[in-house]
Every structure is written in structure tokens, then in C-alpha cells.
Amino acid sequence: MSKSYHPLIRRPYPRVISLVVPIYNEAAVIPLLLARLDGLLNQIACETEIILVNDGSSDRSMDLLLERAEKDHRYKVVGLARNFGHQIAATAGLDCARGDAVALMDADLQDPPEIVLKMIAKYEEGFDVVYARRIKRDGESVFKRFTAWIFYRMMRAMVHKDLPLDTGDFRLVSRRCLDALKSMKELHRFLRGMVAWVGFPQTNVDFVRPPRAAGTTKYPLRKMLPLAWNAALSFSALPLRLSFYFGILLIGIAAAYAGYGLWRIFSGEYVVPGWLSQLVVSCLTSGAIMLSLGILGEYVGRIFEEIKQRPLYTILMTANMENAGKERETYEDELTGPV
């Protein structure tokens, strides 16, 4: 299936821009982050808000954020009541954003804030989603780069065919795209897949990903694997289909072994009566059944969690968020003609 064609309609420079930054135990990098964000604010030619979401950090991250919010009202702080995870923290920030264009970035400065300026230029061209694509990853081991390469290609195969490769959550979305995202209330969230699913004109800006400015990564391999599993279960029935195909494979193996056993019998070779065949077939069928039930159980468990309809997150405190929880006044994008 080919990609949908979207005619691009130029739009004016956004009236308000929101930057959403989820933060978890980043006290070491926050002073560096705030300095870079100050520099970016001086280059953006409209009203800008920076929404810093503290995801239940156990260090002094919240204190540092509140200090900045007290000095500069452009910085807004949302403190979650506990650690809900990166995707939920990002969702909390997006829910509070009131910008015409909203950028989501990580706090470790591996997402250079200055790239937002290039994203805004693409937004003006008429794109509703502008994602940052990593063409090089500095300061990372060969193993890290290899596992990241595998991760993104698995996600495209299992989650969505249009999921961009070599991109994280660093992206800018238009208000109408964000409103579509906010209508999706599922508990198990994979924002990259959700953005690809809603559609809208999308493009990329390339950048070289720098090393982490300070601290340690919050997404080692042991967290990347659960993220991949969550994305696969949230967006695809492929794991269920794989269990079906695995069952077909086991039937084929059992049939092949039966043929081999008959060949040995007819050729006069000795065969232990029944023992090996029963052992192999029993192990294969039992393993297939347990695997299929386990995958099915994952889906049933997610259904159980979704039907409880709990809120995605709870907020402990905020700073400079006078409009938090209020619906933003909607408007139609001003169109200035085709590209």
C-alpha cells in the first residue's frame, strides 16, 4: 500500500509554540538543559512556553525546575505524583500544551533544542508532523547502535509500515495533529506509533545525535525490549498470528519426524518404540500451547487494564500552569496558498 498524497498548504508562523520536556532523575543535566533552552527562546519569534514534566524523580530535579519556574514564567512545571514512565509523562505535557505547534524532546540534550527552529520552518511549509531523524549517533557503542538499528526496524515491521526509521520521540506536531493524538486514550502508549497512525503530512529533518550531556541513559537495552513489546502488543495482532504460524511449524516438524520414523522402520533400522516420538511431540505441542496462551494472556491483561478506565496519570503539583485543565480555544489554520 502506497503512502497517502497530501497537498501542502503554507501556514503562518505559529502564534504560540510549546516545548514539552519529560524529566526523570536529570538533576545533573537540568542546568545545561535550561541554558540551551534560554538560547532557543531568544531565537523563536513568537510567544513560547516550555512545559517541564517531572516524572516522579527521586533526585533534586523538581527543586531545580521549580526554581526556574519562579524566575521565568515561560517555564511551566508539571509534577506527576509518581513515576508513570516516559510515554505517560510526555502525554501529560502534551495535554497541557496550548501552542499552535508543539515540540516534544528529551532532557538529556541528545535532542538538540536548536533543531526546533528547522522544524518550525517545515511546519510553515504545511507539514503537521516534523520528526528528527538521526543520521549519526556520536558517543555510543557499536552494540548500542546495533540494537537501536534492530529496534527501529522491528517496530516498523510490527507496529506501523509508515513508522519512520532511526527516530525517537523528538518531533514537532501541529495543533490539529495534537488534538487527534489527545483523542486516543489508551493506557499502553507508544507515541511514535500513534503519530504515524493518525496520519497528516509528515516529513523529517536530519541531525547528528550528540552524546548525552550528563547523567546516564534512561533507556538501556533492558528498557528498550519492554518498550518494543508494549508497542507490538498495542498496535498489532502480529504476536497472535506468530503463535498460529509457530503452531503450523510444529505440526510440520511433527509430520517430518513421523515420516523419518516410518522410513527407519521400513528400512529395517532399529527404533526405540514410541519413546523418542512421544517426548519430542509432547515438548513441541506443550511449548506451542504455553506460548500461545502467554501471548493471548498479554492481550487479555491489557483489555482488563483498559476497561477500568483509570486516568493516565495523576498530578501532584504544578507551577505557572494557570490554564492547566482548561480547553484551548480552537481556530482554523490560516492558509496562505499552496506550496
Give how far the C-alpha of residue 41 lies from the chain's centroid of Cα atoms, to the nearest Å: 26
Q: Assign 58 to helix, strand or coil.
A: coil
Q: Is the dihedral of CA 186, 187, 188, 191 positive or negative?
A: positive
Residues with pLDDT less than 70, the chain: 1-4, 137-166, 210-244, 247, 251, 255, 258, 265, 268, 270-277, 279-280, 283, 286-287, 290, 294, 298, 301-302, 304-306, 308, 323-339
pLDDT at 155: 66
The DSSP H or E segment spanning 279 is helix 275-307
How far, in Å, are 60, 90, 108, 180, 303 from residue 32 at the CA level? 15, 20, 9, 33, 42
pLDDT at 63: 92
Cell of 241: 498470528
Rounded CA-CA distance 53/199 in Å is 26
Whether 76 contacts 318, CB under 8 Å: yes
pLDDT at 143: 64
Provide the strand spans (E) within the chain.
16-23, 47-54, 75-80, 101-104, 129-137, 167-174, 202-209, 315-319
Cell of 205: 529533518
| Pairing of the two strands 75-80 and 315-319 | antiparallel
Using alpha carbons, select from 56, 323, 85 the residue that is nearest to residue 219.
85
Residue keyed to cell 502480529? 238
pLDDT at 62: 93
> For residue 272, how many other CB atoms are within 10 A of its CB?
8
Single pTM value for the model:
0.68
